[in-house]
Structure 1
Amino acid sequence: MFKLLKTEGRARRGQFSCAHGGMVQTPVFMNVGTQAAIKGGVDAFDLREVRCQIELSNTYHLHLRPGDELVRQMGGLHKFMNWDGPILTDSGGFQVFSLAPLRRIKEEGVYFSSHIDGRKIFMGPEESMRIQSNLGSDVAMAFDECVENPATYEYAKASCERTLRWLERCKREHDRLNALPDTVNPEQLLFGINQGATFADLRVWHMDEIAKLDCDGYAIGGLAVGEPTQVMYDIIDAVE
C-alpha cells in the first residue's frame, strides 16, 4: 500500500494507494470538508482544478447531519459530494477534545450532548467504525481521545491505555464490516492513532503497542492543541 520513494536526511517522500483516485503522494495537504463540503464556496469540481489529492470529512459532524445512514443510502460520501478522489474520515475522536464541556468519557465510549440541539449521542469504537463504514471513506481513523494540554502524567497514561483498548475494538469491528457483502467500500483502510500527550515515554510505549495491531497506517494525534511548538517537534522526534 505504501511505497517509500525518496529520503533526504530525516525527510521522506512516498505514496500510498486508495480505492478511489489512485495514489496519494506524501507529504500531502488534505483539503478539509468537515461536512462533505469545503468552506468558502469550493465544490468538488474546484477540488479537481486545484489538484486535491485527498479530502478530509468528519465522522461526528456527518453523523449529526445529514446522517450517515442517509449518506449510505446515496452510495457513500463519494457520490454524496460528487468527488471521485480519496477521502479520509476523522473518527470523531477530536470532538472528545474540542467539545469537552459537552461530553463524558467512559470505558465503553463517549457520551455527547449535540452542539446543535442538545440531544444525547453516544459514540464508541464500534459506533465510529460503523458510521465511517456507512460513509465509505478510503481511510477510516480509529476512535481515540485527544487529551487537552496540559495534562497530568497519570491521566495521559490512563487515556493512552484506553485508546489502545479502543483501537483493538476498532480493528475487530472494522474487519467485520469490511467483510460484509453490502459494505459501501470493502477496501476501506484503518489508521491507528498514537497518543500520550506531551510525555515522550508514553508516546513511544503507545506507538510500540499499536504497531503490534498491524493497522494499514498510523497517525500521531493529540499535537498542535496548545503545547509549545518545540514540545510538538520533540514528541514527533521521539515517536518517529
Structure 2
Amino acid sequence: MTQRISFSLDATDGKARTGVISTPRGDIRTPAFMPVGTAGTVKAMMPESVRATGADILLGNTYHLMLRPTAERIDRLGGLHKFMNWERPILTDSGGFQVMSLAGLRKLTEEGVTFASHVDGSKHVITPERSMEIQKLLGSDIVMCFDECPALPATEEDVAKSMRMSMRWAQRSRDAFGDRPGHALFGIMQGGVTQELREESSQALTDIGFDGYAVGGLAVGEGQEAMFGVLDYAPDYLPQDKPRYLMGVGKPDDIVGAVKRGIDMMDCVLPSRSGRNGQVFTRHGAINIKNARHADDPRPLDENCTCPACSQYSRAYLHHVFRSHEMISGMLLTWHNLHYFQEIMQGMRDAIAAGTFAAWEADFHAVRAAGDIEPL
C-alpha cells in the first residue's frame, strides 16, 4: 500500500506554524522554500548542490516541460524525478500562470486555454483535464489545480469572474486527478485583493476538498503592502490541518512576513535569477556584486555563511568572475542565495518551535536595516 501524503503541525507561534509534510519520497519540513527547477533544472546548480543548501522539495514547471521536452517524453524516460536526478519530492505548477505571462495569442474559454508556444509558435490547448494528465506523466508528488490568474490591476468584476471560473476548473481538476495514493492535489484560492472574493473562493475549494491549499494571484504586481493585507486574513479561511502554499514569493522579507501570517510553503525564481544577475541576498540585505566597491575586497560576502561562495571565495573574486561573464559566477552566487533562503527557513522553524518567532523576526529586520559592511 502506497503511503499517502500527510501533514502534521508540530508547533505554532502566533499565526506562524512549523510542521512536516510526509511523502513517499521524503519529508518536507515547513515552513518550506521550494527552489524553482523550471525546465528540469535549478539553473546553474547540480541537484545534489540544491539538496546541500537544505531544500527538501523542488518546483517543476508544467508549461515549460510540456513544450520541451514534452511530458510524454519525460514519462517514457521514467518520469521527472529520474530524468532530472532528483529523488526527493517535486511540486509541479499547473501551467496557468505561464500561459498568462508568457504565451502569445492566448484564447480563454470555459473549456480551457488555447495558446501559441513562446518557443516555436506551435498551438496548444490546456484544460484542467489536460493539466492533470501532464502532471501525472511528469510523476510529480504535489500537483496543482489548473487555474486562471488575472494580472493585477484588474476590475473587481473581472477578478470575480476569473475566480469563479477557476473554482469550476478546480472541481474539474479534482475529478480528473482521481485517487492517486502517494500523490497530492492542491487547490488554488483566487480573488485578487478583495476579501469577500477570497472567502468565497476558499469556501468553494474547501467544499471540493484538497490535500493542501495555495494562495494564488499574489506577487503579480500588487506590491508587498497589498499582499500582506490579503495574507492578514486569507490563510485563516483555509483548513488548519492542511498545508498552505503562497505561490511565487518572494524576497526574504516577503517570506518572513508570509510565514508570520500562517503560510507553510513558498517558491520563487528570485534566488537563482538574481544570482545569475549579480544580486546577492545576505542577512545584511541585498548586495550588487558588480559594484566597483567589491573589486579589491578580500572579505567574504558574509563571514557567518558556510556556503562555498562565502567560505572559499572573496568579494573581489566574485566581482571579477561576474564582470568577466564567467559561468562560475552564476553557480556560486546562486548557491549562496539558495543557501541563505534555506537558512531563513531553518531559522524560522527553530524559532517557531521554541516560541521565539517575534524575537527572531525583530532581529532579522534589525540586522538587515543596519546594511552591508562598510567598504574598505
Category of TM-score, reference length = shorter chain: over 0.9
In the TM superposition, what whole-angstrom CA distance separates every residue of 1:51-90 from its partner, at most 9, and x where no partner exists? 3210001001000000100110111111101111110001
> Offset at 1:101?
4.5
Corresponding residue of 1:104 = 107
User: Relative to 1, partners in 2 of residues 1:62 and 1:2: Cα closer, same or farther, differing over 3 Å?
Assistant: same
In the alignment, does 2:63 pair up with 1:68?
A: no
Matched, 1:114 2:117: yes
Aligned match for 1:23, one of 13, 20, 27: 27
Q: Unpaired runs of 5+ in structure 1? A: 179-185
Counterpart residue type for residue 49 of structure 2: D
Deviations 1:211-239 (A, max 9, x none): 11111100000101100211111111221
TM-score by length of 2: 0.60
Q: 1:100 to 1:70 in 2, by over 3 A?
A: closer
2:205 aligned with 1:201: no
In 2, are the aligned partners of 1:71 and 1:77 still within 8 Å (CA)?
yes
| Deviant stretches of 4+, over 6 Å | none
| Pairing 1:150–2:153 present | yes
Q: Would the aligned equivalents of 1:31 and 1:54 in 2 still touch at CA under 8 Å?
A: yes
Q: Measure the CA separation in 2 of the matches of 1:189 and 1:102.
A: 32
SS, match of residue 29 in structure 1: strand
The AA in structure 2 aligned to 1:212 is: D
Q: How many positions carry a matched residue from both structures? A: 230
Distance 1:35 1:74 in 2: 15
What SS does the corresponding residue of 1:71 show, helix, strand or coil?
Answer: helix
Following the alignment from structure 1 to structure 2, what is the Cα–Cα distance between the partners of residues 171 and 87? 19
1:35 is matched with: 39
Q: Distance in 2 between matches of 1:138 and 1:160?
A: 25
Contact 2:143–2:184 (8 Å) recurs in 1: yes
How many angstroms does 1:96 deviate by? 3.0
Partners of 1:132 and 1:194 lie apart in 2 by: 20
Cα distance in 2 between the residues matched to 1:88 and 1:173: 18
Per-residue displacement from partner, 1:172-194 (whole Å, max 9, x unpaired)?
Answer: 11006x3xxxxxxx521100000
Whether the 8 Å contact between 1:102 and 1:115 is mirrored in structure 2 is: no
| Greater radius of gyration (CA) | 2
1:223 aligns with 2:227: no
Matched with 1:13 is 18
Deviation at 1:47, TM superposition (A): 2.1
Deviations 1:100-133 (A, max 9, x none): 6431111000111100111111001000000000
Structure 2 residue corresponding to 1:89, chosen from 84, 88, 92: 92
Q: Tell whether the 8 Å contact from 1:96 to 1:146 is kept in structure 2 after alignment.
A: no
Cα distance in 1, alignment partners of residues 110 and 142 from structure 2: 25
CA gap of 1:30–1:137, structure 2 versus 1, over 3 A, is: same
The question of 1:52 aligning with 2:55 is answered yes
Identity %: 47
The 8 Å contact of residues 204 and 238 in structure 1, kept in 2 or not, is answered as no
CA contact (8 A) 2:103 2:116 kept: no
Cα RMSD between the aligned structures? 1.2
Name the SS of the counterpart of 1:163 in structure 2.
helix
Q: Tell me whether 1:123 sits opposite 2:126 in the alignment.
A: yes
Worse overlay, 44-53 or 216-225: 44-53
Tell me the distance in 2 between the aligned counterparts of 1:87 and 1:104. Answer: 29
Contact conserved, 1:149 with 1:226, CA < 8 A, in 2? yes
1:213/1:104 CA distance change after superposition, 3 Å:
same
**What is the identity, as a one-letter code, of the residue corresponding to 2:210?**
C
Query: For 1:228 and 1:145, how far apart are their aligned partners in 2?
Result: 20
Work out whether residues 13 and 27 of structure 1, in 8 Å CA contact, stay in contact via their aligned partners in 2: yes
Partners of 2:89 and 2:105 in 1: how far apart? Answer: 31
Structure 2, unpaired ranges of 5+: 1-5, 236-376
Residue in 2 that maps onto 1:183: none
Counterpart CA distance in 1 for 2:223 and 2:48 is 38
Contact 2:104 2:118 in 1 (8 A): no
C-alpha displacement of 1:162: 0.4
